[in-house]
């Protein structure tokens, strides 16, 4: 029976790093669902048509990790028709054998509300801005402004806002090393698997 791990949280909280580590640890497939929205956002044109025609190869673009792609993703993710076009892709991915780890903003609340494990990964704004600045070679001040703008947009959208699922385990990575954060996530999954 497939085992699904849903990981949600704001940008640069550590959810992607944790998701990749869990996928390796348990031999599960991994999907960074933000890449779907980034791929739609950077292609330009009608975002609904782009989302409906999206294929796995579109997720391999080198420019999907840029700050610009992140901003574009946040904007197209607020379009209900774009979200609807990508839901089936994500749900199908989530139920593959032996399991899957999906990270994003609405995995535990909308995409996989019945996931066997749900984590909501957070970190304070300053920590996230410093992480993103180091990753992109940008200024911390610019990243702080972008992160706050994006968080506000992601939390305020009408469709699938970024919120913690009621049954999600909260994991604050503000003062944790990567190894410590991953260890806490692994422990949560092992407890759920018995």
What tens digit of pLDDT does each residue of 40-56 get? Answer: 999 989 999 999 998 87
- Domains of the chain, by residue range, sit at 3-183
Cα dihedral sign, 100-106-110-116: positive
Query: 68: burial class by Cβ within 10 Å (0-12, 13-18, 19+)?
Result: exposed
14 is in an annotated binding site: yes
Determine the pLDDT at residue 161: 81
9 is in an annotated binding site: yes
| The pLDDT of residue 154 | 83
CB 119 within 8 A of CB 7: yes
CA atoms within a 13 Å half-sphere pointing along the CA-CB vector of 105: 25
| Domain 3-183 architecture | 3-Layer(aba) Sandwich (3.40)
Collapsing DSSP to helix, strand or coil, 41 comes out as helix
Tens digits of residue pLDDT in 63-106: 998 888 988 988 898 898 998 999 988 998 899 999 999 999 89
How far apart CA 42 and CA 36 sit, in angstroms, is 10
Residue 23 assigned as binding residue: no
- pTM for the whole thing? 0.87
**8 by DSSP, 3-state: which?**
strand
98 in a labelled binding site:
no
- 157 in Cβ contact with 82 (< 8 Å): no
- What percent of the chain has pLDDT above 70? 100
Distances (CA, A) of 112 to 55, 71, 74, 158: 21, 24, 20, 18
Percent of the chain scoring above 90 in pLDDT? 73
Bridge partners of 102, per DSSP, are: 6, 31
Q: Which pLDDT score, from 0 to 100, does residue 177 have?
A: 95
What does the block give as tokens for 131?
């992480």
80 is in an annotated binding site: no
- What DSSP string describes 141-156? HHHHHHHHHHHHHHHH
Instruction: Please count the other Cβ atoms lying within 10 Å of the Cβ belonging to residue 149.
Output: 12
- Cα gap 3→17, rounded to integer Å: 19
Strand order in the sheet with 99-104: 29-32, 99-104, 3-8, 117-122, 169-172
What does the pLDDT look like over 126-163, one tens digit per residue? Answer: 999 999 999 889 999 999 999 999 888 888 877 778 89
For residue 17, say whether it is annotated as part of any ligand binding site. Answer: yes
DSSP assignment of 83-132 equals HHHHHHHHHHHHT-SSEEEEEESSIIIII-TT-SEEEEEE--HHHHHHHH
16 assigned to a ligand binding site? yes
């Amino acid at each position: 029976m497939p085992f699904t791990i849903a990981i949600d949280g704001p940008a640069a909280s550590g959810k992607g790093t944790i998701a990749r580590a869990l996928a390796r640890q348990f031999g599960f497939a991994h999907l960074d669902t933000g890449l779907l929205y980034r791929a739609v956002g950077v292609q330009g044109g009608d975002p609904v048509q782009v989302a409906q025609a999206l294929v796995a190869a579109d997720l391999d673009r080198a420019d999907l990790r840029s700050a610009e792609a992140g901003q574009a993703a946040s904007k197209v993710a607020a379009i209900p028709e774009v979200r609807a076009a990508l839901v089936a892709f994500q749900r199908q991915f989530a139920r593959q054998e032996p399991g899957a780890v999906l990270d994003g903003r609405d995995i535990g609340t909308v995409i996989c509300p019945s996931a066997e494990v749900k984590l909501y990964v957070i970190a304070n704004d300053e920590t996230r801005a410093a992480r993103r600045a180091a990753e992109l070679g940008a200024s911390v001040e610019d990243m702080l402004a972008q992160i706050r703008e994006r968080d506000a947009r992601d939390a305020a959208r009408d469709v699938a806002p970024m919120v913690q699922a009621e049954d999600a385990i909260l994991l604050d990575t503000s003062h944790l090393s990567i190894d410590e954060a991953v260890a806490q996530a692994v422990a949560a999954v092992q407890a759920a698997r018995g």
